[in-house]
Amino acid sequence: MILKAIVRDYTSSGVPVGSKALAAQLPMHVSSATVRNEMAALEELGLIAKTHSSSGRIPSVKGYRYYVDHLVQPDPIKANDIDIIKSSLEGQFLKIDEIIETSAKILSNLTSYTAFSLKPEHKQSRLSGFRLVPLGKRQVMAVLVTDNGDVESQTFNITTKITGDQLEAVVRLINDQLIGKPLDEVLASLQSDIPMQVANYLQQPEGFLKVFGDVLTQAAQDRFYVGGRLNLLNFSDSNDVDELKSLYTLMDHSDDMADVLGQPSDHIQVQIGSEMTNDILRDYSLITATYEAGDHGKGVIALLGPTRMPYSRMIGLVGAFRQELAQRLIDYYRYFDQ
């Protein structure tokens, strides 16, 4: 009971908790001397720690861990928060990526922390269409569509030696040979037989093959979005500019962030301080949750904040948010599949 009160008080105020203030908060009459004895026992167990600047105590990483594993009770989400989530996700979105990107911004705005969102996995995504759209002045846009409704495009220039008939022949070749295949198979074909076939229509196929490969890679890769980057400056206790730069660099590298987020689980996960794989995050906590978009796979949302974040509220908020996001994506896919 005392550990729970210390965690809730400190995550709310950011001020080390003393025995006298703690005794007044407990639901039973206990002397401050008794509370001091119990706090000493908690300190002996390594669940709370003394600070240099105060006689009060703060939770340790071990204390937060015990609290999250055994004591925390997610707060019911406020009706106003649900309204904000629903209204923000009701916009007119043309791509799945737009919904995922917006979700990170919504979660960061609701919490004032930094949020991450990863779109549903692409393992079963298949190529459903490829087009080349003339833009004029020898510019062409390559447009690739997957069965998930994802659309990727890239603009490139062509030489005067390439004719419209040649480009149409290449598009027919791509669609005839590759439509309906998983994206990883399409990428494999691009490394084997497709270049030779494209060379039947284009004398120098390297430029086209690079563009086609780029849009394919964009469609196939797992991209994550970050919301509230600047919020880091509000809750970080570090005044070390180099450390903050390293943290921002980490957020820009998808492979490194994938390691931090870890393997997704159906349960909401909380990683605290040194439990995370990257030492840069030793003063932060990360709440991670998966959302399921029906047959279209699972995605991930995550929230990065200080170790003294209010876990009850944040866990409750992340739990409700993933349900709303999953439903919005299911509705989007249902509309697209009609």
CA distance 259 to 116: 13
In this structure, the answer to whether residues 192 and 239 fall within a common structural domain is no
Strand locations in the chain, DSSP E? 48-50, 57-59, 114-118, 127-136, 139-146, 151-157, 224-227, 269-272, 284-292, 298-306
Walk along the chain (338 residues) and give the pLDDT tens digit of each residue.
999 999 999 999 889 999 888 888 888 888 889 999 999 999 999 999 988 767 789 999 999 999 999 999 999 999 999 999 999 998 888 778 889 999 999 999 999 999 999 888 755 678 889 998 888 888 889 899 888 777 888 888 888 888 889 989 999 999 999 999 988 888 888 888 899 999 998 888 888 888 888 888 877 766 788 999 999 888 877 677 888 888 888 887 767 777 777 776 788 999 998 888 788 888 899 999 999 888 777 889 999 999 999 999 999 999 999 999 999 998 887 775 65
**Residue 291 falls within a domain, yes or no?**
yes
CATH for 197 = 3.30.390.60
Instruction: Note down the domain range covering 167.
Output: 127-220
**Residue 300 falls within a domain, yes or no?**
yes
In this structure, the answer to whether residues 182 and 38 fall within a common structural domain is no
In this structure, the answer to whether residues 56 and 204 fall within a common structural domain is no
Which has the closest alpha carbon to 330: 66, 20, 32, 89?
89
CATH for 97 = 3.30.450.40
**Residue 119 falls within a domain, yes or no?**
no
Say what the pLDDT of residue 191 is.
Answer: 87
R_g of the chain, CA atoms, integer Å: 26
Say what the pLDDT of residue 337 is.
Answer: 60
Count of domains observed in the chain: 3
pTM above threshold 0.95: no
Say what the pLDDT of residue 262 is.
Answer: 74
**Residue 180 falls within a domain, yes or no?**
yes
In this structure, the answer to whether residues 133 and 200 fall within a common structural domain is yes
In this structure, the answer to whether residues 23 and 83 fall within a common structural domain is no
Pairing of strands 57-59, 224-227: unpaired
**Residue 206 falls within a domain, yes or no?**
yes
Say what the pLDDT of residue 338 is.
Answer: 54
